[in-house]
A and B are shown apart, each in its own frame.
Chain A
């Protein structure tokens, strides 16, 4: 489904160059529940950004459904993200003036879904993340865990091939973080959606069925684990 082939990413500032990723290669199949782990600065977020088409590699290539990503225009990349990718952010990134329902339906509206279908799919997504009855609440009226559930519903409502989550539990206490991980794992099983998340939290790593370790921008370990 997604193939990362010998990808490097270099950031330049003034006269110094920082190698965020060095020749990373990975293959992500359908239905995976994968954690990218490593210490700060190891390149976790950079790798997720590249897989999510939010950034472009300095060298190497990323293939999504067999098609190379590089060379595509901003508009084409936006279309690709809109149709195939879902995102969950560490800081939730919900729109504060919109209700939970509106935040989730936003992702469907971008795809041109409207009317009864939009309502039905939005309510179902909110139900799946356990937020039935809280549809009208705005992010400021929800707890951190509830906000992250809204973000997960927003990512899943459009039935993407892959959901990329950058440190999804970092802003949550451990109990809430565990609940969120259990939710994501359950959704992964029920929907077959691939989840890729970055973390440096051991508890999060324990939930993954595949653990990719990064160090100084290079993959040091890629282990499949028992669920």
Chain B
């Protein structure tokens, strides 16, 4: 066995250029895999965090019909008595806040005439006192201040503010239909610009005090949803069951966790992972073709040598093992270099990230990442890529070595 290792190692240097080219192809494949995997994982984790902190909380209680029609944001399907629901939830140890969600058109007409326009947006009436229990929106105020109750004021995402050339202190007009279908027009002062890590907030959402939304939209104390926060958001099954038991007296209400509320993200993420899997498969096919070609050449050029080894009594299994070890050596060099390169790229992406704001812009790409995409460390992928690179290389060399071993010894010895 020791001899086989020594022979395989020395054979690696036999065709050093070919070995380096093959190992290089594998290194690129492994490095790209690690880079892409880390990047996707980073985007996934940041998206999950940004969905929970700024968009969905850990879960939401809402009217069952509202949940079914959530894309149309129906104001008629509401929680009529949110205080009663909150009382029922008191024992569940989840932080809660009320919100009214509505569709609106936002008009900006600046006094100095420097800009004007309108956009359809998603409006949220939030309780400034309790919103921080569930969401971290207040921490994202880039300019101005957070909302105060009872004032005709509004918060805008910074991309929205930029599109409308709106700034803190400007007055904007919001037009929306009330719960009973009547048009309501509100003049509101922009008191803060949000720079939220969740692009959906920045792109098309406005926030105003809950009491103001309640009055303007004729909610009469009803709300669209009660958002909840609890620590077990990653595995919420038990907590959700507990909350559902607490709400047994409210058959019209449903509880949806953040995964259900962000199902668009999960579907897109799954699709992207599958697409990325295909890309990675292609990369590894390219590397596999390289290794297969290298080993085929190595075997073909050494047919007579194989014949000599067999003539001297070396077993077929040992000869095959010698080629497997040689291919494994190429795999180890390629995967090792790829691991170092990939880890280096990943380190940069974890530390500094890649600002895709200029490319992605206002596009909705599914991920809830503002503009700087940061990677995450995925130790299993690092180890897996190395092990896979070595094992796949060894497996690929099986076919060429089998071809040589099928030849008769005398044919091997005659081979030119």
Contacts and interface: CB of A to CB of B under 8 A. Distances in A.
Interface string B379-416: 00000000000000000000000000000111001000
Nearest to A138: B10
Contact of A55 (B10, B13, B14, B408): B408
B3 interface: yes
B224 to A, nearest CB: 75
A54 B315 contact: no
A106 interface: yes
Contact of A87 (B3, B10, B305, B311): B311
A52 B410 CA distance: 11
Contacts of A98: 7, 10
Interface centre among B308, B312, B410 (most CB of A within 10 A): B312
B80 interface: no
B315 A75 contact: yes
Contacts of B244: none
A82 interface: yes
Interface residues of B, number: 23
Interface stretch (A26-34, A107-115, A124-132, A215-223): A107-115
Nearest to A166: B413
B313 A79 contact: yes
Contacts of A78: 310, 313-316
Nearest to B312: A107
A74 B316 CA distance: 9
A98 B410 CA distance: 23
B68 to A, nearest CB: 70
A105 B7 CA distance: 12
B276 interface: no
Nearest to A86: B312
A70 interface: no
Contacts of B7: 95, 97-98
A54 B409 contact: yes
Contacts of B316: 74-75, 78
B315 A89 contact: no
Contacts of B10: 97-98
A102 to B, nearest CB: 8
B312 to A, nearest CB: 6
Contacts of B308: 87, 89, 93, 95
A103 B84 CA distance: 89
B304 interface: yes
Contacts of A89: 308, 413
Contacts of A106: 3, 312
Contacts of B11: 97
A82 B318 CA distance: 13
B412 to A, nearest CB: 9
Given A49-B410, A81-B311, A114 B304 contact: no
A82 B413 contact: no
Given A78-B314, A81-B313, A109 B3 contact: yes
Contacts of B6: 102
A24 to B, nearest CB: 17
B305 A82 contact: no
A217 to B, nearest CB: 16
A91 interface: yes
Contacts of A110: 312-314
Contacts of B311: 52, 54, 81, 87
A154 B308 CA distance: 12
B190 to A, nearest CB: 76
14 contacts: A55-B408, A78-B315, A79-B313, A80-B313, A82-B312, A82-B313, A82-B314, A89-B413, A93-B307, A93-B308, A95-B7, A95-B305, A98-B7, A110-B313
Interface of A: 49, 52, 54-55, 74-75, 78-83, 85, 87, 89, 91, 93, 95-98, 102, 105-107, 109-110, 114, 154
Interface of B: 2-3, 6-7, 10-11, 13-14, 304-305, 307-308, 310-316, 408-410, 413
